[in-house]
Amino acid sequence: MASLTTPSRASGPAGYDVEAVRREFPALAQAVNGHPLIYLDNAATTQKPRVVLAALRQYYERDCANIHRSIHTLGERATEAYEHARRVTQRFLGAGSAREIVFTAGATAGLNLIAQTFGRMQVGPGDEILVTAMEHHSNIVPWQMLGQEKGARLVAAPISDAGELIWEEFERRLTPRTRLLAITHVSNALGTINPLRRLIAAAHAQKIPVVVDGAQAVAHLPVNVAELDCDFYVFSGHKIYAPTGVGVLYGKSEWLERMPPWQGGGDMIRSVSFEATSYNRVPYKFEAGTPNIAGVIALAAALDFALQLGLEASAAHEERLRQLATERLKSIPRLRLIGEAREKVGVLSFVLAGIHPHDVSTLLDQQGIAVRAGHHCAQPLMDRFGVPATSRASLAAYNTAAEIEALAAGIAQVQEMMS
């Protein structure tokens, strides 16, 4: 891969060459509806760099075999690549051991796994599970299902008009009945960065374990689970340049050892008879069946790519773009930004007076600009702000200032067309 740190006129922070970054993503070179693609839907999924596509090709063209089963050469190569990905992920998250890394189908699968194993151990009748008003449905529904099964109650800590957690209200909801805190690191609809260390410390002071939904954080912020001291952390690979259908669940070893398996099948067992089954060791007891081998291998390539890019450098670049986008969008008449937290990543949700977000997205798409429209799987959050949906522009390491200017001009054009 070419150097991504050579300065150029397109650079943002010193040494960050966004044009070099863009050249690593083939999809960005295309035209959409007769216009150069401006891809601003990165909170939904990111585009994929050449190294990730190459990793997929190598597995399917050269090393395609099942893992942990075969002793032939292809099987051994595939197994080593898969387990190498576990070690890469461990380092990426700052986990203490590769045994603490479980591969899943995504953040949603990870949250459901925790709810159906750890949650069933932890939660009982009359207990409470604490979340926030800014959670994605994936960090609401599994806990509701668990609560319905166990006779427990879901409690949501409120947020301010700026989209920030109200600390006093959060503390008030940490009670002796709270058995679990499940919280997003970064809001997918607002971009708000939650103060995780403070939240986790407050929960742990009352011996409350903490589950973190990191789907929107890992591509934009350095994450160290040991320093955060969270009990669980989940994310989806496709939010950080990896393929869809692969994700990660980090869990502290002491919890993973105590948790029962979630699914039964091959590779999660030591031995099986009709009388009894003994389970494999951690983390394999949570990885039943043939996994997404190619996806996991490509995930490692994506994480290595993000590290080479430099999460701090790319975050500084994205922050410069976010500030520019905020300034440009706030200057547009009849545009309302939803969520203006002091600490946030490059997610800009907005509504235009008199124009439905779906129409905004459709008309921007005609200009080659891809943004998201809808409730963003955060309907309680939309209710909090009194809107059924928003338009959402979300940034990645490959976006540019010129694209932000095009977005602002495109929105103005939408207003003209709909007036």
State whether residue 178 is helix, strand or coil.
strand
- 117 secondary structure, DSSP code: I
**Residue 121 and residue 133: Cα distance in Å, rounded?**
25
**Cis peptide upstream of residue 333 (ω within 30 degrees of 0):** no
Residue type present at position 69: R
CA distances 408 to 151, 162, 329, 395, 412, Å, are 49, 22, 6, 14, 6
Instruction: Mark whether 377 is an active-site residue.
Output: yes
* Residue 98 Rama label (left phi>0; alpha psi -120 to 50; beta): alpha
Tokens of 169: 């209200």
**Residue 92 and residue 286: Cα distance in Å, rounded?**
21
**Cβ proximity of 157 and 173 under 8 Å:** yes
State whether residue 371 is helix, strand or coil.
coil
Q: Which residues, 6+ apart, have CB-to-CB distance to 106 below 8 Å? A: 215, 236, 237, 238, 244, 245, 246, 247
Sign of CA dihedral 105, 110, 114, 116: negative
**Cβ proximity of 129 and 135 under 8 Å:** no
- 193 secondary structure, DSSP code: B
**Residue 240 and residue 248: Cα distance in Å, rounded?**
12
Tokens of 390: 């928003």
Residue type present at position 254: E
Q: 391 - beta bridge partners? A: 350, 373
Tokens of 38: 């401006």
**Cβ proximity of 349 and 61 under 8 Å:** no
End-to-end CA distance of the chain: 47
Q: Which residues, 6+ apart, have CB-to-CB distance to 9 below 8 Å? A: none
Helix (H) or strand (E) holding 101: strand 101-104
Catalytic residue among 377, 387, 401, 409: 377
Residues annotated catalytic, as ranges: 377
